[in-house]
Chain A
Amino acid sequence: MGEGIKLAILCCNYTNLAEREDLYEVPARLEIKRFPCGGHIEITDILRAFREGAEGVCVCACEQGTCHNGKGNERAEKKVVGARAILQEIGISPERLSFYYVPRLDAEAFVEDVKAFFSKILKEKVEERGK
């Protein structure tokens, strides 16, 4: 069931260097979109990812206190709050959107977060089918 799921990962370019091959254990169609900074990720980018077919969108930014630009990571988290409210208003579960603070350049932690997110979306889809 998981192979059909499309996930979009919007992340700061400096958060991690992981590529699709590092995420081979995640049986989903993954689209990784990199931004110059987490603070550059807009609500429209998140909504567009859903419109382009993603069933789950995961926003990753650098751990607190490590953003190159000061507070770009915190801004990313706030954008996720705003986007989740909009998703709820238009009938999409806000759980389809997650935010993670990821240690810089630690691909392993990033991969674990993507795996956790995939499991969450998979569980939600199974529950939706059961309704």
Chain B
Amino acid sequence: MIIAERRPIPEILENIAPYSRVLVLGCRGCVAVCSAGGDREVAILAEAIRLAREREGKPIEVIERTFIRQCDPEYLELLRELVPQVEAIVSLACGVGVNLIADLYPSARVYPGVDTSFYGANVVLGKWIEKCRGCGDCLIDKTAGLCPIARCAKNLLNGPCGGSQGGRCEVRKDMPCVWHMIIERLKERGELERLLEITPPKDWRPAGGDGLRVRVRPDLA
């Protein structure tokens, strides 16, 4: 899922400083699952904004809503009647939601309430770790399902850098070396020879190096 993290509240307050009626808009997609922008986080941020503004002597009316998703125009249709009622929107969706609101409602002042961080997994309660970088050209079929683009600090394609020690990454000692893991796993399976095939330099165009990425499925479009 897309992992996000609430932006510092002072930054959010600065963005909405001129306004006295705002909407805090959550999303029940990824950001709800990663506890950054669901119903509960909307309620907490709204209450924090009210408290901060009352202490400043500038009370504010905060409307709270959470949509099923903010990355789909059909769900954002619900925003049509709210936009004229508020001076600004703080969206707790990932950047996709904020952008789509900005596209669909040009008159709405929409501000991000979270920083969109990465694609990750919820490994234990309250902890998320990056597993995919969305580079658009998966090579994990060759690496036992473990991604060296997302999980190797140097994005190496043909084996470890030589700097890891005891199976730990030399850049992030709190993280395992993914190439160490790949080699150990392939060795256990008797498939180490798979790594003899040299992977050529990566084409980064599918990762966004060629501009905005668009996917079209002709049988649906």
A residues adjacent to B (C-beta < 8 A): 42-44, 47-48, 50-51, 82, 86, 89-92
Q: Could you tell me if A48 and B47 are in contact, using CB atoms closer than 8 angstroms?
A: yes
Provide the bound-state CA to CA distance between A8 and B1, in Å: 39
Q: Could you tell me if B51 and A43 are in contact, using CB atoms closer than 8 angstroms?
A: no
Which residues of B are found within 8 Å of A42, using beta-carbon distances? 40, 43-44
B residues adjacent to A (C-beta < 8 A): 8-10, 13, 40, 43-44, 47-48, 50-52, 54-55
Provide the bound-state CA to CA distance between A82 and B44, in Å: 10
Q: Could you tell me if B51 and A91 are in contact, using CB atoms closer than 8 angstroms?
A: no
Q: Could you tell me if B40 and A90 are in contact, using CB atoms closer than 8 angstroms?
A: no
Provide the bound-state CA to CA distance between A91 and B50, in Å: 13
Identity of the chain A residue whose Cβ is nearest the Cβ of B12 in the assembled complex: A89
Q: Secondary structure at chain A's binding surface: helix, strand, loop or mixed? A: helix
User: In the complex where A51-B50, A86-B9 touch, is A91 in contact with B55 (Cβ < 8 A)?
Assistant: yes
Provide the bound-state CA to CA distance between A48 and B47, in Å: 7
8 interchain residue pairs of minimum CB distance: A90-B52, A47-B47, A89-B9, A51-B51, A44-B47, A44-B43, A43-B44, A86-B48
Q: Could you tell me if A44 and B51 are in contact, using CB atoms closer than 8 angstroms?
A: no
Q: How far is the CB of A8 from chain B (nearest CB, A)?
A: 13
Q: A47-B48, A86-B48 are in contact. List 14 more A-B contacts (CB 8 A).
A: A42-B40, A43-B44, A43-B47, A47-B44, A47-B47, A51-B50, A51-B51, A51-B54, A82-B44, A89-B10, A89-B48, A90-B10, A90-B48, A91-B52
Q: Could you tell me if B47 and A90 are in contact, using CB atoms closer than 8 angstroms?
A: no
Provide the bound-state CA to CA distance between A91 and B51, in Å: 10
Provide the bound-state CA to CA distance between A92 and B43, in Å: 19
Residue among A89, A91, A92 facing the most chain B CB atoms (10 A cut-off): A89
Provide the bound-state CA to CA distance between A82 and B6, in Å: 12
Which residues of B are found within 8 Å of A47, using beta-carbon distances? 44, 47-48, 51
Q: How far is the CB of B55 from chain A (nearest CB, A)?
A: 7
Provide the bound-state CA to CA distance between A40 and B38, in Å: 18
Which residues of B are found within 8 Å of A44, using beta-carbon distances? 43-44, 47
Provide the bound-state CA to CA distance between A50 and B43, in Å: 15
Provide the bound-state CA to CA distance between A118 and B10, in Å: 29
Which residues of A are found within 8 Å of B40, using beta-carbon distances? 42
Provide the bound-state CA to CA distance between A74 and B147, in Å: 36
Which residues of A are found within 8 Å of B8, using beta-carbon distances? 89
